[in-house]
């Protein structure tokens, strides 16, 4: 295994259900992502993109195959160990933002820091909000922010732990064109700072943000196209 590979999927299969209802969402799926890369994963609805994101994000474990993340085999870790990996090494950006509506922007950004021992959470949260250009909105609640601003708060939350990998599942799926541009610009900038970024999308307009694009169909990798 090469040392600068952040991610290495080896023949991953993910099967949902049993018997007649059995669905293989990923089949014999292998993929390598180098540290600092930016990757777009494209494919039609139901092709297995979200399943891939869940496995990459350590939110779910594969039925078979191995997943090496930063040199560690994470495919057989238990729930608590996976929680630690997610907390320390991965930042998530979801299509529905997933902000807690009762908390202010900075309190939302602070959330991942509550599950590890760091002091100075407020300063780190404000720094992350500054990076996404929302220093003037720290006390706003999600309901008082536009969709694009909400997604930028979510990106700040993904950044605040300084993770090696940022995973974005359809980050612009709920945004208008202008907001999408803002959000994609932030993601590109993060990649330029050296962070590994994987964007999952079915939108051909989004893919060019990444330097590499892979296509998924029926749970399998179709081809690899260098941008």
Partner 1 sequence: MSLLHTIETGLRSLLGHRLRSVLTTLGILFGVAAVIATVGIGQASSDSVTARITSLGTNLLTISAGSTVTSGVFGGAGSATTLSMADVAGLQDRQSAPDIVAVAPVSQGRLSLVSASSNWSTTVSGSTEGWLVTNTRTINSGTFINANDVATRAQVIVLGSTTAANLGAGVGDIVMVRQIPFQVIGVLAASGGQGFGNPDDLGVVPITTAQDELFGGSGSVQRILLSATSASTIGSAYLEANQILLQTHHIQDPSQADFTITTQTQVLSTAQAVTQTLTILLASVAAISLLVGGIGVMNIMLVSVTERTSEIGLRKALGATPVDLFRQFVIEAAMLTAVGGLLGVGTGLAVGYVVPRAANIAVTITPLPVLVAVGVAVAVGLVFGVYPALRAARLAPIEALRAQ
Ligand X SMILES: Nc1ncnc2c1ncn2[C@@H]1O[C@H](COP(=O)(O)OP(=O)(O)O)[C@@H](O)[C@H]1O
Residues near ligand X, by CB under 6 A: 16-17, 23, 25, 43, 45-51
Contact status: 54 vs Mg ion (CB under 5 A): no
Contact status: 62 vs partner 1 (CB under 8 A): no
For β-strands 38-42 and 196-201, DSSP reports them as parallel
Contact status: 18 vs partner 1 (CB under 8 A): no
Closer to partner 1 by CB, 117 or 177: give it. Answer: 117
Closer to ligand X by CB, 17 or 204: give it. Answer: 17
* Alpha carbons 168 and 182: distance in angstroms, whole number: 14
Residues of span 87-126 touching partner 1 by CB under 8 A:
87-88, 92, 94, 96, 98, 100, 102, 111-112, 114-117
Contact status: 50 vs Mg ion (CB under 5 A): yes
Residues of span 126-185 touching Mg ion by CB under 5 A:
none
Residue 16: which of 26, 5, 4 has the closest Cα? Answer: 26
Per the rule left: phi > 0, alpha: psi between -120 and 50, beta: everything else, 91 is: beta
Residue 152: which of 124, 174, 130, 183 has the closest Cα? Answer: 183
Shortest Cβ 221–partner 1 spacing (Å)? 21
Partners of 215 in beta bridges: 42
Q: What number of helices (H) and strands (E) belong to the chain?
A: 6, 10
Sheet holding 38-42, edge to edge: 90-93, 165-169, 196-201, 38-42, 212-217, 220-226
Closer to Mg ion by CB, 50 or 180: give it. Answer: 50
Give phi and psi for 215, each to the nearest 5: -115, 135
Shortest Cβ 99–partner 1 spacing (Å)? 8
Q: Which residues bind Mg ion (CB under 5 A)?
A: 50
Q: Which residues bind partner 1 (CB under 8 A)?
A: 54, 57, 59-60, 79-80, 83-84, 86-88, 92, 94, 96, 98, 100, 102, 111-112, 114-117, 157, 161
């Amino acid at each position: 295994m090469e040392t600068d590979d952040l991610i290495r999927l080896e023949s991953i299969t993910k099967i949902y259900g049993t018997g007649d209802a059995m669905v293989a969402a990923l089949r014999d799926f292998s993929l390598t992502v180098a540290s600092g890369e930016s990757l777009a994963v494209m494919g039609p609805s139901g092709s297995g993109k979200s399943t891939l994101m869940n496995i990459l994000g350590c939110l779910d474990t594969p039925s078979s195959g191995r997943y090496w993340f930063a040199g560690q085999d994470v495919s057989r870790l238990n729930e608590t160990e996976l929680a630690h990996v997610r907390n320390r090494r991965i930042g998530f950006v979801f299509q529905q933002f997933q902000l807690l509506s009762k908390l202010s922007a900075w309190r939302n950004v602070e959330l991942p820091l509550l599950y590890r021992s760091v002091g100075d959470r407020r300063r780190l949260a404000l720094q992350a909000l500054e990076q996404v250009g929302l220093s003037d909105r720290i006390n706003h609640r999600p309901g008082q922010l536009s969709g694009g601003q909400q997604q930028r708060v979510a990106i700040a939350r993904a950044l605040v732990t300084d993770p090696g990998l940022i995973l974005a599942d359809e980050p612009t799926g709920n945004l208008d064109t202008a907001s999408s541009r803002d959000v994609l610009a932030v993601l590109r900038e993060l990649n330029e700072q050296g962070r590994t970024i994987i964007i999952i999308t079915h939108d051909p307009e989004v893919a060019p943000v990444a330097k590499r694009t892979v296509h998924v169909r029926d749970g399998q990798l179709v081809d690899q196209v260098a941008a």
